[in-house]
Structures are given as structure tokens and as C-alpha cells.
Amino acid sequence: KAGVTQTPRYLIKTRGQQVTLSCSPISGHRSVSWYQQTPGQGLQFLFEYFSETQRNKGNFPGRFSGRQFSNSRSEMNVSTLELGDSALYLCASSTGQRQETQYFGPGTRLLVL
Amino acid sequence: GIQVEQSPPDLILQEGANSTLRCNFSDSVNNLQWFHQNPWGQLINLFYIPSGTKQNGRLSATTVATERYSLLYISSSQTTDSGVYFCAVERRDSSYKLIFGSGTRLLVRP
């Protein structure tokens, strides 16, 4: 099976712009979670989607949003980018059941100038 | 919320040495995973281990859920083991959300 894929892998934006990141889960997986990793805050949970529904959300401002499509692919969007949004964005894939291993993609590195 | 603490924060070893990484957590958990983050940023699954002991080659892990800690053992370390090791837990009453520790940065010198 192919692993979790994320596109793009690298992105440079300027403050005020918006960005959309994409994640394709492992075939057959219906849950996609998003995490932000920064040197200061570490790895933090953004949100989780299962069957096109957001099941859980972390403590991020409303500028961070996501969605999931019927094929389980997910996108996250960040509007009105700030310098502090520069980070590695990781998505994780699982079957969506409790007590399941989560598998991570390679990440998207976002730099906001 | 649940606290996840990893120790030591940094570790330098000579190739061939053994090491033990620790993860303490402050509440009951459904899920505990160990990851290795490679230099390119990808999190590689090492173990899914909410309780008990598992081994995979030179790596093994033990979680004592009743005492709220997990240990990752690396034996005969190699330079390719360098990177950051993360422990992540899912709280028993929280859905589908991993809480990560701050990691242990390991450098294995040749």
C-alpha cells in the first residue's frame, strides 16, 4: 500500500496570503488528522476528520480550517497568514477506530515571510 | 489536559552503545505510540504500545499503564538512529487526538 502523501512538500508565502495543503491517506483509511510542528510549541493537534465530518478540533484560531472529501483526501486551509504560522504541517492517517495506530505523511514545510 | 514528559531531552551516544528513553504521562491513555522523526521531518512509527512489551530488532518498548510511563530501549545504536524520538498518547476520554511529548534528541557518533 502507498503511504500517506502530502502536497506540496515546501511552500513560501507572504503575510496576509492564504494557503491550502493537501493530504491523501493510506488506501482504506477514513480518518485524517492534522498537526502543526514548530520549534517553540512542538507538535500540536489541529483537527481530525472522519467520513467528511470533523470529529475533534485543537486550540487554533478560526483562520485554520479543514475539510475532507468523499475519497477521504483532506485539505487544510490557513487564511491571513502570519509569520508564526511558519511550521511543518503533518497529516496522519488511520482507519478511524479507537486505539489505532496513526501513520504520518512526510509533511509540508510552510515558510511565511 | 494530559501532560506528556520525555527524558532526557538530549542524548549523545557512541555507536554501539545502548540507551533508554522515558515517557511519563499524567492520565489514563487509550493509545501510546513511539515515533522517530527523521532529518527530513517525517514521523516514522516505531511502536503502538498502550501496555505491555514489544520488540522490533534492536528496538524494544515497554509501557506500564498503571504507573503511567513508557520506555524505549535502543540497543547497539547506529548513526542512523540519530534524530528525535517522540512519545504520543491519546487520552482515554478524548477522541482521536494524539498529545505529543517534547521529544528526545539523539545523536549517535561514529
Q: Residues A66-109: pLDDT tens digits? A: 999 999 999 999 999 999 999 999 999 999 887 788 999 999 99
Between CA A106 and CA B42 the distance in angstroms is: 5
| Residue whose C-alpha is closest to residue B32's, from B95, B91, B75 | B91
Partner-chain contact B41 A37, CB within 8 Å: yes
Spatial distance between the Cα atoms of A82 and A78, rounded to a whole number of angstroms? 9
pLDDT at B94 over 80: no
Question: What's the pLDDT score for residue A100?
Answer: 81
CB contact under 8 A, B96 and A55: yes
A57 neighbors A76 (Cβ within 8 angstroms): no
* Chain B CB contacts of A48 below 8 Å: 95-97
Q: Which of B96, B97, B99, B102 to mutate to test the interface with A (most CBs of A within 10 A)?
A: B96
Please name the residue of chain B whose CA is at the shortest distance from the CA of residue A39.
B102
Nearest to B9 by CA among B26, B1, B21, B19: B21
- Cβ neighbours for B50, distance < 8 A, ≥ 6 positions apart: A99, B29, B30, B31, B32, B63, B65
Predicted local confidence at residue A68, as pLDDT: 98
Per-residue pLDDT of A14-65, as tens digits, reads 999 999 999 999 999 999 999 999 999 999 999 999 999 999 999 999 999 9
Decide which of B96 and A10 is more confident: A10
CA distance A67 to chain B (A): 16
Instruction: Give residue A79's pLDDT.
Output: 95
Query: What chain B residue is nearest to A92 in terms of C-alpha separation?
Result: B43
Q: What is the pLDDT, as a whole number, of residue B34?
A: 97
Q: Does the structure show a pLDDT above 90 at B1?
A: no
Instruction: Please state, in angstroms and rounded to a whole number, the distance separating the CA atoms of residues A34 and A75.
Output: 9
Looking at residue B107, its pLDDT comes to 96
